[in-house]
Amino acid sequence: NDGNDPVTGDMLYILRIPSIDSENPVREGTESDVLSDSLGHEADTALAGTEGNCVIAGHRNYNFGKYFNRLDEVEINDLIYLDTDRATYTYAVTDIKVVEPTDVEILEPVAGKEILTLYTCTPIYIATHRLVIIAERVQ
């Protein structure tokens, strides 16, 4: 740790998805106490603004519009924003898929580009699968 690596619970970003009126804090880690009141950044994945795969997990809160409740309404080419205190990173959705919970391929690093991967449990209430949104940085 060089002093710059976030520790569990650190506030990292505000994640905004205007197409579904979603705006939520993102904290480091995917432990249950983090995900109970924010989205969570998978600790071993890239940070915004660096090459690789930045993976953010969230619950489908039963309150409409909370966390990733409406993630299933996101469409290809929708824009997603990660705000930090220094910059805003903009991503465009390139792929949407539903995978088995055991499919950890979504967590794998990518080379040569900046990818943002969002995932949540689906269907809501049942949660047998994962809904995955993949977006690529555009600016």
pTM of the model: 0.91
- pLDDT, one tens digit per residue, over 32-77 is 889 988 999 999 999 999 999 999 999 987 665 678 999 999 999 9
Cα distances from 60 to residues 5, 54, 117, 127, in angstroms, run 28, 20, 16, 9
Q: What is the pLDDT of residues 50-62, one digit of tens each?
A: 999 999 999 987 6
